[in-house]
């Protein structure tokens, strides 16, 4: 167990490196234009390689979505033979978190098992209601840790995503509404992309169905739902509101004083928390949703997931959901604005991974995946009459 904890600590330390080079961890805004002139690492965007795209062979974002609903007692509550939309009316643009175990500072564009697994775990269920586009990018890798990343290396990761976004707009969008989805490093990059290329541009804002930015410390002015990272894009307060942002980081207990998520040192700012189970405020029931396929065996992220203590009911379908297994509410206890979850009906108490300072970062998406998918479906229905 000690060995696994050390491995996962190395995995997540990449975000400390990200913070030091401006991706945006713990800062008031990730929208600052990069002015560093690269000296050892090129920032020329690579030609876009798609991890997920409509029509792509062996697409990890279009698996079977058949889901067994079960209680933690083992009782099966039903099976949903969910199908991907044949003609979805909106798109989803997904940027994955740090998963690469490559040994270079920046990953190359090889589609490794880690990228395929994370697309399955975090993006594929959105195919129920949208066409999913997910670019590969030269992300900061898990080996680039401890504050060692340079500005040029971080810029390389951002530039690849920004170039993919422009490729998507030119070749595939054709005026369709789009949901921008990112977790962790992906959320930090999308914070900057939205600030630079969406929030300040009315035509681009018109395309925005919503942004789902999890584990990314989205900043707003204290007492407000905007004014930090974004000046026009507000927090989502209902499932039919469009052009808004959903953002949170998950904890199972009051965050410690040195928690990595939910805090900012920027004067007059706070980290945004929107509860996906109760966007209007208060508490709500979460609908956790997990693939039954293990995350890329032998990977560092798989080791981190093992620390969490997830014991989902055993089922034979590709997905398992445990609706109502946890309650969730946004809390500022301990001075951090986070989504606090509480188990119910026999659900396990999840363990922080790798340390209490990170909370339940690795389950930010899946602990509320059913809620997020439902919200996106409602937003998509609301978007078209308005646009």
Please write the tens of the pLDDT for every residue from 84-98: 888 999 999 999 999
**161 within a domain of the structure (yes/no):** yes
Percent of the chain clearing pLDDT 90 (strictly above): 82
Q: Is residue 191 part of a domain?
A: yes
C-beta separation of 186 from 159 below 8 A: no
Return d(Cα 324, Cα 322) in angstroms, integer. Answer: 6
Q: Give the span between the Cα atoms of 167 and 78, in whole angstroms.
A: 41
Q: What is the dihedral of CA 150, 154, 156, 158, to 10 degrees?
A: -160
Q: Is 332 exposed, middle or buried (0-12, 13-18, 19+ CB in 10 A)?
A: middle
CATH number of the domain within which 166 lies? 3.40.50
Does residue 317 form part of some domain? no
Residue 41 clears pLDDT 50, i.e. is over it: no
Which pLDDT belongs to residue 147?
61
pLDDT at residue 328 is higher than 80: yes
Cα gap 303→11, rounded to integer Å: 10
Is residue 59 in a domain? Answer: yes
Q: Is-contact 272 263, C-beta < 8 A?
A: no
Q: What does the chain come to in residues?
A: 387
pLDDT at 9 over 70: no
User: Looking at the whole model, is its pTM more than 0.75?
Assistant: yes
Q: Note whether residue 358 is domain-resident.
A: no
Domains contained in the chain, number: 1
C-beta contacts of 79-82 below 8 A and 24+ residues apart: 79/317, 80/321, 82/128
Which residue has better confidence, 242 or 26? 242
124 within a domain of the structure (yes/no): yes
Residue 343 in domain: no
Is there a domain that residue 324 lies in? no
Q: Which residue range forms the structural domain that includes residue 162?
A: 2-63+84-275+369-386
């Amino acid at each position: 167990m000690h060995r696994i904890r050390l491995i996962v600590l190395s995995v997540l330390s990449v975000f400390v490196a990200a913070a030091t080079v401006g991706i945006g961890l713990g800062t008031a805004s990730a929208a600052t234009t990069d002015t560093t002139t690269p000296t050892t690492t090129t920032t020329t965007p690579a030609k876009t390689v798609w991890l997920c795209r409509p029509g792509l062979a062996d697409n990890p974002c279009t698996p079977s979505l058949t889901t067994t609903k079960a209680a933690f007692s083992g009782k099966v509550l039903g099976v949903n033979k969910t199908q991907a939309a044949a003609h979805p009316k909106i798109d989803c643009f997904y940027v994955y978190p740090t998963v690469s175990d490559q040994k270079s500072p920046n990953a190359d564009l090889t589609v490794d098992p880690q990228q395929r697994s994370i697309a399955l775990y975090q993006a594929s269920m959105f195919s129920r209601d949208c066409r999913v586009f997910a670019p590969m990018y030269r992300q900061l890798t898990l080996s680039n840790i401890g504050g060692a990343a340079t500005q040029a290396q971080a810029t390389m990761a951002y530039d690849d995503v920004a170039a993919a976004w422009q490729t998507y707009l030119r070749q595939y969008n054709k005026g369709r509404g789009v949901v921008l989805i990112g977790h962790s490093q992906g959320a930090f990059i999308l914070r900057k992309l939205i600030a630079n290329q969406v929030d300040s541009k009315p035509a681009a804002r018109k395309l925005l169905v919503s942004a789902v930015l999890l584990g990314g410390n989205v900043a707003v002015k204290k007492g407000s739902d905007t004014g930090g990272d974004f000046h026009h894009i507000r927090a989502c307060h209902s499932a039919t509101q469009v052009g808004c942002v959903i953002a949170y980081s998950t904890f199972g207990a009051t965050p410690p004083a040195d928690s990595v998520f939910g805090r900012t040192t920027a004067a007059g700012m706070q980290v945004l928390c929107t509860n996906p189970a109760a966007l209007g405020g208060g508490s709500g029931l979460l609908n956790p949703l997990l693939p039954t396929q293990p995350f890329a065996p032998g990977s560092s992220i798989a080791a981190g997931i093992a620390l969490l203590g997830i014991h989902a009911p055993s089922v034979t379908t590709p997905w398992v959901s445990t609706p109502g297994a946890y309650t969730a509410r946004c809390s500022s206890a301990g001075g951090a604005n986070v989504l606090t979850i509480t188990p119910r009906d026999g659900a396990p108490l999840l363990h922080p991974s790798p340390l209490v300072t990170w909370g339940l970062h690795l389950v930010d998406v899946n602990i509320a995946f059913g809620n997020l998918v439902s919200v996106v479906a409602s937003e998509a229905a609301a978007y078209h009459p308005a646009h």
